[in-house]
Amino acid sequence: MAVKDYYKILGVPEKATPAEIKKKYLKLVRKYHPDKNPGDKQAEEKFKEINEAHDVISNPEKRKKYDMIRQYGSQFNFGGSAPGGSGGMSYEDILKNFSAGKRRKSYKNTGGSFQDIFSQFFDLGDFSSSQTHAPQRGKNILSSITIPFETAIKGGNQFLKLETESICEQCNGSGAEPGSKKNSCSQCQGRGTISVNQGPFATSYVCPACQGKGEIIETPCKKCNGAGKLVTLKTIKVKIPRGIENNSKIRLKGKGALGINNGPPGDLIIRIFVQPHSTFKRNGLNLEVEISITLVNALLGTEINVPTMDGRIKMKIPSGTQPNSKLRIKGKGVPSQGKRGDLIIKVLVKFPKKLTEEQKELIKKLKETGL
């Protein structure tokens, strides 16, 4: 069954630009719109075809796949009959056949299989029975850990308890009790999958007898019950880099699930959550802290002890400092990649709630001076 020619339906060349496609599409839509052709079934079908064609070739990803179908589709009998309308099977119907059929027919002129040509476009996966026992990479494991604010700034080691898989030492991962044999599965003839022909297509499913392994174990390993692996609780050391941000991820290669058929293990991906600090707040590479001083010290200036991540340091407050002013100490912020942010001090001025009579008199005198 041929593939519908969407370029012909829209009346544009195969190398048409998006602008050319849009211009032609709008022209045809105005011509065949049902509102302009009431009761005209042919115009209605034409309008549907135009929209179907535009939906595919106006989308760069769909157009790429569609062009591949048109190039190689003539070498296959996709099966079924053409849906409503003329011109053969639609793009969507062919995609359904790809996912349902998973054919293994080989190209005569391309040197590859159906899967080899189309898998890069349609993510069909590997349906070949010859790949059943191929090594497969283990799955990634996702976990999380909450770390102190200080560790996020300075770096350090944290420890994460996690259930992980390990190869059974008793059977060395084979799943068979030492001295026991493995026999080829008679139900699938060692392939691990069973194929059933359905018209022009072949459907495969995992062999229920051997669970896809292709082998039957005479006596399963007593320690792992034939699984070939054990799940144990392990303590994993996680190195926290200096300056790591909240909600960041750390990847530990090879610390994930075990691979299949001696494939490499997956990775352990850890999401980092940082505890808030009672004194400091983080803003990028800068740290922020609030310091309260008296009104007199704000007016006359003073020297205070400022907390930093490296301990307290002395800092001068200039006279006439205004409430909510921000002062900066360079290089006392967050370290990251050879740089370090600053410490921002927000100065809060405390006003007295009650004044003595003497203090009131002094303020009145200051008022007379124009202060």
- Mind listing the pLDDT tens digit for each residue in 108-141? 444 444 444 444 444 444 444 444 567 888 899 9
Quickly count helices (H) and strands (E) in the chain.
Answer: 9, 17
Over residues 174-191, the mean pLDDT reads 84
| Residues 246, 209 share a domain | no
Q: How far apart, in whole angstroms, are the C-alpha atoms of residue 92 and residue 192?
A: 31
Q: 32 lies in a domain? A: yes
| Residues 304, 320 share a domain | yes
- CA nearest to 69, candidates 98, 45, 43: 98
Q: Which of the two residues, 72 and 176, has the higher pLDDT score?
A: 176
SS3 assignment, position 78: coil
> Does pLDDT of 325 surpass 50?
yes
| Residues 114, 51 share a domain | yes
Question: Which of 276, 292, 312 delimits the end of a domain?
Answer: 276
| Residues 346, 248 share a domain | no
State pTM to two decimals.
Answer: 0.55
| Residues 270, 143 share a domain | yes
Q: How far apart, in whole angstroms, are the C-alpha atoms of residue 97 and residue 78?
A: 7
Q: Taking all residues of the chain, what is their mean pLDDT, rounded to a whole number? A: 82
Residue 6's Cβ-count burial label (10 Å; 0-12, 13-18, 19+) is: buried
Q: State what percent of residues in the chain have pLDDT above 90.
A: 44
| Residues 258, 142 share a domain | yes
> Does pLDDT of 165 surpass 70?
yes
Identify the CATH number of the domain in which residue 121 sits: 1.10.287.110
Encoded tokens for 209: 């007898």
Question: Which of 231, 260, 276 delimits the end of a domain?
Answer: 276
Displacement of CA 369 from its chain's centroid (Å): 68
> Does pLDDT of 49 surpass 50?
yes
Q: 121 lies in a domain? A: yes
| Residues 144, 193 share a domain | no
Residue found by looking up tokens 């190209």 in the block = 107
Q: 196 lies in a domain? A: yes
Encoded tokens for 136: 């497969």
Encoded tokens for 288: 């922020």
Q: 87 lies in a domain? A: yes
Over residues 295-320, the mean pLDDT reads 94
Q: How many domains does the structure of the chain reveal? A: 4
pLDDT attached to residue 347: 96
> Does pLDDT of 105 surpass 60?
no
Q: How far apart, in whole angstroms, are the C-alpha atoms of residue 265 and residue 136?
A: 9
176 with 217: CB under 8 angstroms?
yes
| Residues 29, 141 share a domain | no
Question: Which of 125, 142, 157 delimits the end of a domain?
Answer: 125
Neighbours of 93 (CB within 10 A): 19
pLDDT attached to residue 97: 60
Q: 237 lies in a domain? A: yes
| Residues 116, 65 share a domain | yes
* Confidence tier at 28 by pLDDT (50, 70, 90): very high
Q: 1 lies in a domain? A: no
| Residues 306, 257 share a domain | no
Identify the CATH number of the domain in which residue 247 sits: 2.60.260.20
Q: Which of the two residues, 334 and 87, has the higher pLDDT score?
A: 334
223 with 207: CB under 8 angstroms?
no
Rg over alpha carbons for the chain, rounded to the nearest Å, is 36
pLDDT attached to residue 212: 75
Domain around 245: 134-176+220-276
| Residues 293, 199 share a domain | no
- CA nearest to 68, candidates 110, 22, 126: 110
| Position 205, amino acid | Y
Q: 235 lies in a domain? A: yes
> Does pLDDT of 158 surpass 50?
yes
**What is the DSSP-derived secondary structure letter of residue 105?**
P
pLDDT digits (tens, 9 = 90+) for 256-298: 988 887 789 999 999 999 999 999 999 999 999 999 999 999 9
- Which of these ranges, 60-74, 149-163, 313-327, has the smallest mean pLDDT? 60-74
Q: 150 lies in a domain? A: yes
Reported residue count of the chain is 371
pLDDT attached to residue 275: 95
Q: How far apart, in whole angstroms, are the C-alpha atoms of residue 370 and residue 265?
A: 78
Q: Which of the two residues, 43 and 74, has the higher pLDDT score?
A: 43
| Residues 66, 48 share a domain | yes
